[in-house]
Structure 1
Amino acid sequence: MPDRKVALITGATGGIGRATSIAFAKTGQYDLALHYNTASQETRDALLSQIQSSSSSSDTVKAHFFQADMSSYDSVRKLHEDVTGVYGRVDVLFNNAGAVLGHQGVQSLADVPIDVFEQTWRVNTGSGILLTQLCLPEMEKQGWGRIIFDSSVAAFTGGFVGPHYASAKSAQHGFVHWLAGNVARKGVTVNAVAPALIKDTAMMGSMDGDGEDKGKEMEERLAGRLPVGRLGRPEEIAETVLWMVNTAYVTNKVITVDGGMYPY
């Protein structure tokens, strides 16, 4: 294998995706395939600049952006085709992209149409499973690979977003447990990280309501639910993802990074 591995990060321009991209760049050990859906050129350029300035390698880290709509399986297949067309393979897959589809703070099951459940599963879970199917054969062939899903503490507790989101995230866990056992002797680890409330993510941004003051009030109220008394930082999730990549003896795990919310 070449010394530098290839990491595909979906949802790379969001808070957790951005922090994880920079964390990988700092090691100098990875070239980066950065997925986005609707992020502006300005946003992508800013992330690319951060990546290049963060790299610890004298040989510039390669980083390319790839557009895909994660609600479309055809678009996901095209994403894999485009990434492997540039890099040849994917060594590390961080299935980070996710969405709540405009439904959060749900108070009644009747408020979420069944098609929203299906769409939420597709974006948060189904597309990650498809990408895993596409990337896994090369990982198995070379005897090394890392697959990580960005889940949520909502998969354990139900959370506050809604049943569509909690059920989609919990579906990731069953898949992680099955696949991890299936490939454990093939040099491929499969894990998930399950954050609680993370500052500066797209979901938190969409909760800001109609003003900055309201957003701060919401943030303080939510932080008060956590034993540590604050929201998490995207960098704390990124550090956990990097640890999972670096540690070959960790597989079949869902690690909560949640400020003490969930005790297991």
Structure 2
Amino acid sequence: MKIDLSGKTAVVSGSTMGIGFAIAGGLAESGAAVVVNGRKQASVDEAVAALKNAFPEAEVRGVAADLGTAEGCAEMVEAEPVADILVNNLGIYGPQDFFEIPDEEWTRFYEINVLSGVRLSRAYLPGMLEENWGRVIFLSSESALNIPADMIHYGFTKTANLSIARGLAKRVTGTGVTVNSVLPGPTMSEGVEEMLREDAEESGRSMEETGVAFVKENRPSSIIQRPATVEEVANMVIYTASPQASATTGAALRVDGGVVDSIA
């Protein structure tokens, strides 16, 4: 299967590092014009330069905007008014006990993890419908189904992603536009590496060994028994964005290594 996204423009929120950066790279390699996003101009410039270096033939642009705010989303849409592919990847996470999470932290998680995708979808979907072709993909998580006791606020936002994506898929019924969610499990992104760094240093284990130990201890139902790579997650997103995935919509596509113990 050769995925060709030539002539398509893809906007990937939160894509200067981690899964988002890997997605941007996969889309660029497949021929799409890719718009990278981050809050800081320096990190956006660095990511754009890295992608252009890796894929010299690719068209890569960047927009520095805080998409966790309405103003930032408006800045993005003003800078890049058209998208054929929208990947709502932006998200934050972090363990915190339920009884210690203040209202403002619930609001912050909701604004960044949920409303960023709502606002961008609301802005870009009408153009996709006019062309009768488009892809909207929400990065959810296995935590949407397997709510972590130490990150309830995070799990809640990822469940919301599933609801919005399913509802939007129904909203565009009978068109050439698809809307799906992709659910990663534990993934060895820069953010996860940073979270595990102290454990690795204290134990004397490599980062890879620490990641395996984390999965076995915290996600024992994992079938692969290791974290996924960012590229493994990105591969699912690239397929979902492709013309070949035209009959896949309203779906929650798991790339969680089998963490969610379900046959469906």
TM-score (ref. length: structure 1): 0.86
Partner of 1:34: 36
Distance 1:46 1:148, change over 3 A: closer
Please say if residues 154 and 160 of structure 1, whose CA atoms lie closer than 8 Å, have aligned partners that are also in contact: no
Please say if residues 16 and 47 of structure 2, whose CA atoms lie closer than 8 Å, have aligned partners that are also in contact: no
Q: Aligned-pair distance for 1:21?
A: 1.2
Match of 2:165, SS?
Answer: helix
Picking from 77, 80, 94, the partner of 1:80 is: 77
Q: Aligned-pair distance for 1:27?
A: 1.5
Matched AA of 1:48? A
CA deviations on 1:72-120 (whole Å, 9 max, x unpaired) are 1111111111112xxxx110000001112xx41x3x4211112211110
Partner of 1:197: 186
Matched AA of 1:255? L
Pairwise mapping of residues 1-264 of structure 1 onto structure 2 (< 5 A)? 4-28=7-31, 30-38=32-40, 40-41=42-43, 44-45=45-46, 47-54=48-55, 60-84=57-81, 89-100=82-93, 103-104=94-95, 106=96, 108-159=97-148, 161-209=150-198, 212-213=201-202, 216=207, 218-224=210-216, 225=220, 226-246=222-242, 247-262=245-260, 263=262, 264=264
Matched AA of 1:61? A
Structure 2: gaps of 5 or more residues = none
Matched AA of 2:16? T
Matched AA of 2:259? M
Match of 1:249, SS?
Answer: coil
The separation in 2 between residues aligned to 1:71 and 1:53, in whole angstroms, is 29
The separation in 2 between residues aligned to 1:189 and 1:230, in whole angstroms, is 31
Please say if residues 9 and 35 of structure 2, whose CA atoms lie closer than 8 Å, have aligned partners that are also in contact: yes
Q: Quick check: 248-257 or 201-210, which moved more?
A: 201-210
Please say if residues 16 and 237 of structure 1, whose CA atoms lie closer than 8 Å, have aligned partners that are also in contact: yes
Please say if residues 189 and 250 of structure 1, whose CA atoms lie closer than 8 Å, have aligned partners that are also in contact: yes
Q: Aligned-pair distance for 1:40?
A: 3.5
CA deviations on 1:29-81 (whole Å, 9 max, x unpaired) are x101111113745x7435533344335xxxx3221110111221111111111
Structure 1: gaps of 5 or more residues = none
Match of 1:261, SS?
Answer: coil
TM-score (ref. length: structure 2): 0.86
Count of equivalent residues: 249
Q: Aligned-pair distance for 1:209?
A: 3.4
Please say if residues 18 and 47 of structure 1, whose CA atoms lie closer than 8 Å, have aligned partners that are also in contact: no
The separation in 2 between residues aligned to 1:35 and 1:136, in whole angstroms, is 18
The separation in 1 between residues aligned to 2:246 and 2:26, in whole angstroms, is 18
